[in-house]
Chain A
Amino acid sequence: MAKRLYGFCAGKRFALVVSTESTRKLGCRVISLGGSLPAYVGEKQAADVRADEAVLVLLLESRGDEKRMAYLYLPAVPAVDDRLLSMLESCDLVLFDGTFWTDDELFRVQGGGRSALEVATCQFPAREAASSVWQN
């Protein structure tokens, strides 16, 4: 197995590099957005894990290039706030995974399930605030 060259530092940026063949490095920041645990997690186990580790955002930066390139991957977004908007503004590329148009969409379509916020995905009006960042 390739050997990881750079270790992890708690709460700080680290590099995604595993082999000496890579000359360029990807700086990686992992940021907690809060949110909820997966639906399959029972109450007993939920008490034993950290909910603030449930929904994470990845911010990747190319390093070693002349120009910094930043990419933000948001697989789920419980809410859009000022800090998130600031991160969005600092990035060259944003992948924003949003599924729902309304908070009760699953209830209405399939008669049950969790709300959008319960699966840590804000509905469309909040995403409009985020989309305005790059529209401007």
Chain B
Amino acid sequence: MAAVTIALKDLRQRIRDHSAFLWGIVAPFGLALVFSLILGNVADPSSFDVSYAVVDLDGGEMGRVFVDEILMPISKAGPLGEEGFFDLVVVTSEAAAETMAENGDVDAAIIVPSGFTDAVNSGAPSAVTVVGNVNSPTLAEVARSIASGYADEVNTVRTSVFSLVVLQGEMPDEAEMSVLAAAARAEPAPLVVGDDPAASKILSAQTFYAAGMAIMFLFLAVQFGVLGLLEEKQNGTMARLLAAPISRTSIVAGKALTSFVIGISSMAVLVVGTTFLLNASWGNSVGVAILVLAGVLSAMGIMFFVAAFAKTPEQAGNLQAIIAFLLAMLGGTFFPVYQAGGLLGKLSLLTPHAWFLRGLGDLTGEGTIGAVFPAALYVVAFGVVTGLLAQFRLGKAVAP
């Protein structure tokens, strides 16, 4: 009961000087807001309008097949209608196509050269040109791969026919040639690429910044309870507390309770606030609650550890700030360090921050509450180990 009284008094004090509110809510929320404003759109490209220009300078069979049978059917001008992948603009001059790509009117321009059909039939080299707009590298790359796909097909038919010619040792006439080419085209592809879509465990930009800032500042916000132990001692009120009929355990428990309440409530406000105001999607609320609980316990464990080894509240506060920033940085709350892989990725996974974010990713990717347990377990274990280590030294803090 004494623990609750101590905690209530501490909480009232923290509410009055706004410090817990500033560290626990205003700072993380403000930073998450700034990050998602400036970077949210970069990381999350929404639907885009794709458009390509094509010019057929060839006028022969092969050029016609490419435009009418390869490009048209998948464009919005084809049978798919609005479901088509891109707008196709057919232009008549190379210069016009290039200008469109240069100005960004289209994402890429595809140019079928003159004499393309003749080159294919006679075995002479020829090149389809793709001019991509520099600001749409991805969409330009898709245009390039469509063109490459066609080139691959043409080359394969040619290699097939000429392999036969080499073995036969004589050049067939034109009629035979086109029969062979048709047969080569009919030969089924030996390799197909199957698709195995993977669930993404990567958080959306908005969620990533909200969660990253929340967990980073959690480690700073919990200091307000535990540091009270050192403050009471510095102010001389610890001796008075000990003289009162209050057990040492109650004093420690009271301070722990303060940290716990501040940690849980600031996280709760951040989760709800960023969900509604910043469009973050944290995932299943029970799973998030488990991770938040684990995070708070972890932060408290470290805080107790720091308090046990520091002499003054200032020293402990500064040390906790150093630890909080280092773990946050390495844990990938600003940029995804884990994705770098290698040694850096392994180091990152030593931090509770990386596991907290990973737990949220698992929750999003797998969609079941159970998915958070491995991550939550590590996060808690971090707090339990540091908290237990603190117990050996905490006696000196709770002494007159």
Same complex for A and B? Answer no
Residues of B within 8 A of A (CB): none
Residues of A within 8 A of B (CB): none
